[in-house]
A and B are shown apart, each in its own frame.
Chain A
Amino acid sequence: MKPAPFAYHRVHSVEAALERLHELGEEAKPIAGGQSLAPLMAFRLARPTALVDISRLAELAHLARVGDELRVGALTRHATVESGAAQCGEGFEVLSRSARFIGHGPIRRRGTFGGSLAHGDPSAEWCLLALALDAVVIARDRAGERAIDAGDFFTGYFSTALAPDELLVEVRFPRPRPHSSLKEFSRRRGDFALVGVAVALDLDRAGRCEDVRIAFGGVDDVPVRVAAAERLLEGEPAEADAFRAAAELCGAELGRGLGDEDGRLKRRLMVELSVEALGEASAGVPG
């Protein structure tokens, strides 16, 4: 389990990284925390001909509020978000709370936010939350920057809208979502979730749901939202019955494509986890 050969390039600026990626061509890859890429290379499932090491680009390691918006630099470590509730500010508690589901301590201290999105594992916590919180991914190449809606970012199994010579530089969460939650199930502590769900909603004065987002991981090639269930909840009172109805709809919509035995388990998890997540989200930030 030794990786195939590659050439290594360390860079000290985003510009240099982009130059390098461009010049090295399609078979080159950036490496950030290496917590997904290195195992893939050990199995030789990934065999980049060159690595551009961006792990030391301090300019991409920020975590800051700009007005309502939260900006997470691509190289911000999972552990920084986990302990960074204060930097995230009110309304983004769900990020810090969810970080603890990612692997284990040493993995969170090295793995990066941008790396997780760029890797695009369909059950990764950050991918689900990006979708549920309407994040915008900022990508840059030599020509300049573009913004990609999270909904357009994940294009297939472990693939994203990023071009080979493009870097993900930042993820923007446009507004606080105090009513949000992430729930997941894995058989063993620290593993990727078998099924995960992230939800976000607003409550009007009368306690009715607005702007509902329900995003699942582990049930399709990409993290997916269930628009029908979101619509169903729109304007409904934030109560258990409504949540269960929406959750059942999610199970029915997404469960269809799943095989028998494991499908039954996943459907059940989708329903139960989303009921819980909706309940927790509507109760608001704990404490």
Chain B
Amino acid sequence: MSDLHLIAITVNGEAHEVAVDSRRTLADVLRHDLRLTGTHLGCEHGVCGACTVLLDGSPVRSCLVFGVQADGMEVETVEGLADDGTLGPLQQAFSEEGGLQCGFCTPGFLMLGTALLREHPDPTEEEIDDLVAANLCRCTGYAGIRRALLKAARGGATEGWPEPARVEDPRLLTGGGRFVDDVDRAGQLWMRVVRADLAAAEIVEIDAEAARQMEGVVAVLDATSLPDGFVIPIRLGPYEGDLTPFLQPVLAGAEVRYVGEPVAVVVAEDPYVAEDAAERVVTRYAPREPLLDSAQHGAEPAVTLRRGFGDADAAFAAADLVVEVDVRVGRHSAVPLETRGLVADWDTQARHLTVWGATKVPHFNRGALARLLGLGAEEITIRASDAGGGFGVRGELYPEDVLVTWLAMRFERPVKWIEDRSEHLVATNHSREQSRRLEGAFREDGSLLAVRDRVRHDNGAYLRTHGLLVPEMTLGMLLGPYRVDGYDGEAQVFLTNKTPAGTYRAPGRYEATFARERLLDKAAAALGMDPIALRRRNLLKARELPHHRPVPVLGHEVVIDDADFAGLLAETLKESNWSGWKKEAAKLRGEGRAIGVGFAYFLEKSGGGGFETARIDVLADGRLRVSSGATSLGQGVETVLAEVVCRELDVARADVAVVAGDTDLVEAGGGSWASRSTVYAGSAAQKAAQELRALLLEVASELLEADARDLELGAGAVEVRGSPSSRISFAELAARSDALANGRHGRPPGLSVTATFTDAPMTYPYGVHLAQVEVDRRSGAVSVLRYHVGYDVGTAISPRQVEGQLVGGAAQGIGGALLEEFTYDELGQPQSTTFIDYLLPTAAEVPDVTLTLLERGRAKGNPLGAKGAGEGGTTACGAAIAAAVDDALQRPGAILELPITPTRVMRLLAGEE
């Protein structure tokens, strides 16, 4: 049934008449009917604000307004902000101040800011704070957004600034980004997944007849229609033992194992109709008893991993003191502001499948899809697109990736699927849920002799692409930056009836750091030692490096090559004014407030994954196009690559275009994960640039008839040193290299090089987190007053971006420490399926994060000397905040569970009374 209305709306000054169904939201009218895709949908239920537009001048969430309600009104969207392509002062300020990373939330903030500055040209700081707290951002930690608004309000932004801070910025600030839902193909169908609504059950019958009869429905299919062997493969391995029984089928066959598991798909002409039809698919189940907690009686692990070295037992027997902690980290995850989505287009004649939306490991996904669909890898192209944050979960191969592509081939029409927010919260990888008992053997002087680690890892219902990576990583990285002679680690991996888990920013390390630092705090208290002194005693010293630890992580044993652990600690404590924080907290406690400070040390890892490819083409106009196997997830990889190439070849940034993650442009690639993009893709780009330089000089030397050694590069040209009149521009070189190549020297035509950088060992960045918190004794709520991250990044290619990564990472870590948790009721029904229940922090919950950034431990394994910086902002948040809460309550060792919710704090305080 549709109820059509002809409406007249003016958008950015242009009048439109559109026929809309009354249930179509204004956001969908703008995005899909008017093709103004700058307005984004992050939740469709009024919480995130990404969809904010101005309606008759007033900011509104366009997902909460029906298009028909806007009849006769004036709408302003992000597309209207830039005057003929020049960024306005507010947009410019966002770029200059790091107000955006992935750019998905940015249009919403820009529209809020535009309205505010129009109404109050000189807003107070409080008004700005209120504004920033109104919308959600998952990347920036809000600091850059706040700075940008302040700058624009105080007239500090440079209008029409020639060079935006990042290559990505101009398109993202003007609504020109290309996110997957921005891709619409002519004649496309929409897929909707019918999901299990029980946690554990046998499927008795799926009745799709009513759905099939609906107008606009093309098909409804369940597992019986799929080819055999449609199972999600593991990407990261190998592991001992056969893991196939634990893999997820693309559609559930005989049984369902978690609420949200795909059981059928609807294919329809329109997303609204697809959803109507999905509701009409009736699945009958025979319910079973769900397993929801690995501690539940009778629960058996699916896999047990053991890692260790030295003689831990002997060390425990000889220890002066044995300390143990039982800790738990709650289930939470990346929850990027853009949900997942895919578009697949199958060209029957050309036998070619094109896919948009799988941003992370395109080459792996291409290979896996090729195997499943019976195609050659060369018959599939995965196109680069923008992505609204990844943080580990986006772009893995999920059941939907297989479904969308298979359906496109089967129906010979483009198929599109956009995950909605409620689906996202049950369908996309969860992470982090681990409990562990950790024991440490100490000498009286605080030396840590050995560690015994017993982990219960709840991986949800299946092993997906990450396989056993997280439990392996949590064992491999547990010991952190400390000297330990004996380690006895064991992780039991349980498959429960909950959403499958995978990696999330600092996977395994967030959990391990929490446990280890809690243990050290407890040991310090037991020994009457200052917790920092205890760390100092155990940190590896420069002369002990490189330090080899015989526990494998991603197939490499840990080798910490270069680090100044004590130096970073000293500098961070000084720069943060830690002793001032401590004094202040003690003084305020004296006045009756519950304020405390906490600290945690962590070791990160970055890189891994073999190789990366970069290609540089000199285009006809002399500009350079850099293509990489890395993907753009909001982390600014395009800027990093452009920066590296500009430095090597002395060209202006405006003359470099970057394409990240298009499988047609580079033959092979590793993708973007594990903070590897700068290390691998950056090194590959550097190598390609060096090869291109040699090629340019060689060709120019022929054309200029000069010795290559007398030539130099400058400003997009090659010239004879000391005689600037003999020069030849890149454009001309490009034009003439074709003809030149014709038969001479047998060089292939064109100016294009491809370079592969291989085999950088894992690098180990490290850092310190400091927190000052207040506990509200009335409510048990914890607020973070101050936060500081000290980090050694090796070499920062783009210091501003490193800062952005750390601050944004800290906001996520704080979310996981205090607010975010996927909870389930006793039947396994998920309780966090909206943005009202799954609490992403707003600006009001995230403090200003300050930084100490050192470039000391230059990584030896890559020419840039870079260590990744994607995760270190997150790793130690749980640990540092827990320590601070202990201190605030003056109860060492009290916090053993994350997130630290008011209810949990109340339980502690009740024990006190």
A25 at interface (Cβ–Cβ under 8 A)?
no
Chain B residues within an 8 Å CB radius of A6: 3, 22-23
- Taking a contact as CB atoms closer than 8 A, the residue among B2, B60, B134, B279 that contacts A190 in the complex is B134
Chain B residues within an 8 Å CB radius of A39: 45-46, 64
Q: Which of B21, B64, B781, B841 has the most CB of A within 10 A?
A: B64
CB–CB B3/A107 < 8 A: no
Chain B residues within an 8 Å CB radius of A269: 778-779
Q: Assess A109 versus B65: contact at CB under 8 Å? Given A7-B3, A188-B842.
A: no
Complex alpha-carbon distance, A41 and B778, angstroms: 36
CB–CB B64/A3 < 8 A: no
Chain A residues within an 8 Å CB radius of B2: 5
CB–CB A105/B130 < 8 A: yes
- Taking a contact as CB atoms closer than 8 A, the residue among B59, B421, B781, B910 that contacts A187 in the complex is B781
* Chief secondary structure at chain A's binding surface: mixed
CB–CB A5/B49 < 8 A: no
CB–CB A1/B421 < 8 A: yes
Could you tell me which residues of chain B, from 267 to 299, have a CB within 8 Å of some CB in chain A?
Answer: 271-272, 275-276, 279
With an 8 Å Cβ cutoff, the count of chain B residues facing the other chain is 58
CB–CB B22/A188 < 8 A: no
A42 at interface (Cβ–Cβ under 8 A)?
yes
CB–CB B272/A7 < 8 A: no
A55 at interface (Cβ–Cβ under 8 A)?
yes
A287 at interface (Cβ–Cβ under 8 A)?
no
CB–CB B60/A188 < 8 A: no
Q: Which of A4, A8, A51, A185 has the most CB of B within 10 A?
A: A8
Q: Assess A5 versus B276: contact at CB under 8 Å? Given A34-B66, A39-B45, A53-B69.
A: yes
Q: Assess A190 versus B422: contact at CB under 8 Å? Given A10-B71, A264-B907.
A: no
Could you tell me which residues of chain B, from 125 to 141, have a CB within 8 Å of some CB in chain A?
Answer: 130-131, 133-135
Chain B residues within an 8 Å CB radius of A189: 133, 842-845
CB–CB B112/A265 < 8 A: no
Q: Assess A42 versus B44: contact at CB under 8 Å? Given A3-B23, A265-B906.
A: yes
CB–CB B23/A5 < 8 A: yes
Could you tell me which residues of chain A, from 2 to 39, have a CB within 8 Å of some CB in chain B?
Answer: 2-8, 10, 31, 34-35, 38-39
Chain B residues within an 8 Å CB radius of A188: 819, 839, 841-842, 844-845
Chain A residues within an 8 Å CB radius of B60: 106, 109-110
CB–CB A4/B276 < 8 A: yes
Which residue on chain B has the smallest CB distance to residue A106? B59
CB–CB B3/A272 < 8 A: no
Complex alpha-carbon distance, A44 and B504, angstroms: 31
B379 at interface (Cβ–Cβ under 8 A)?
no
B903 at interface (Cβ–Cβ under 8 A)?
yes
A115 to chain B, nearest CB (A): 12
A152 at interface (Cβ–Cβ under 8 A)?
no
CB–CB B46/A107 < 8 A: yes
For A42-61 the 0/1 string (1 means CB < 8 A from B) is 11100000010101000000
Complex alpha-carbon distance, A1 and B41, angstroms: 11
A191 at interface (Cβ–Cβ under 8 A)?
yes
CB–CB B906/A55 < 8 A: no
B350 at interface (Cβ–Cβ under 8 A)?
no
CB–CB A43/B45 < 8 A: yes
Could you tell me which residues of chain B, from 519 to 543, have a CB within 8 Å of some CB in chain A?
Answer: none
B61 at interface (Cβ–Cβ under 8 A)?
yes
CB–CB B112/A106 < 8 A: yes
A104 at interface (Cβ–Cβ under 8 A)?
yes
- Taking a contact as CB atoms closer than 8 A, the residue among A4, A8, A42, A273 that contacts B5 in the complex is A8
A268 at interface (Cβ–Cβ under 8 A)?
yes
CB–CB A187/B839 < 8 A: yes
Chain B residues within an 8 Å CB radius of A190: 133-134, 842, 844
B622 at interface (Cβ–Cβ under 8 A)?
no
Which residue on chain B has the smallest CB distance to residue A100? B130
- Taking a contact as CB atoms closer than 8 A, the residue among B1, B63, B422 that contacts A5 in the complex is B1
CB–CB B22/A8 < 8 A: yes
CB–CB B133/A272 < 8 A: no
Which residue on chain A has the smallest CB distance to residue B134? A104
A143 to chain B, nearest CB (A): 29
- Taking a contact as CB atoms closer than 8 A, the residue among B45, B49, B845 that contacts A1 in the complex is B45
B202 at interface (Cβ–Cβ under 8 A)?
no
Complex alpha-carbon distance, A51 and B910, angstroms: 49
B513 at interface (Cβ–Cβ under 8 A)?
no
A283 to chain B, nearest CB (A): 19
B68 at interface (Cβ–Cβ under 8 A)?
yes
Could you tell me which residues of chain A, from 103 to 124, have a CB within 8 Å of some CB in chain B?
Answer: 104-107, 109-110
B188 at interface (Cβ–Cβ under 8 A)?
no
- Taking a contact as CB atoms closer than 8 A, the residue among B23, B68, B135, B839 that contacts A2 in the complex is B23
For A218-234 the 0/1 string (1 means CB < 8 A from B) is 00000000000000000
Complex alpha-carbon distance, A51 and B2, angstroms: 14
B52 at interface (Cβ–Cβ under 8 A)?
yes
For B8-45 the 0/1 string (1 means CB < 8 A from A) is 00000000000001110100100000000000000011
B58 at interface (Cβ–Cβ under 8 A)?
yes
CB–CB A265/B903 < 8 A: yes
B902 at interface (Cβ–Cβ under 8 A)?
yes
Q: Which of A41, A51, A188, A191 has the most CB of B within 10 A?
A: A188
- Taking a contact as CB atoms closer than 8 A, the residue among B49, B52, B781, B903 that contacts A185 in the complex is B781
CB–CB A1/B422 < 8 A: yes
CB–CB B22/A2 < 8 A: no
Complex alpha-carbon distance, A162 and B3, angstroms: 27
- Taking a contact as CB atoms closer than 8 A, the residue among A34, A35, A185, A187 that contacts B69 in the complex is A34
A189 to chain B, nearest CB (A): 4
Return 8 A-B CB contacts under 8 Å, by A number: A5-B21, A10-B68, A38-B46, A51-B66, A104-B133, A190-B134, A261-B903, A265-B903
Q: A38-B65, A109-B58, A261-B903 are in contact. List 12 more A-B contacts (CB 8 A).
A: A5-B2, A39-B45, A104-B130, A107-B61, A110-B58, A187-B819, A187-B839, A190-B133, A190-B842, A194-B902, A264-B910, A272-B779
Interface residues of A (CB under 8 A from B): 1-8, 10, 31, 34-35, 38-39, 41-44, 51, 53, 55, 104-107, 109-110, 185, 187-192, 194, 261-262, 264-265, 268-269, 272-273
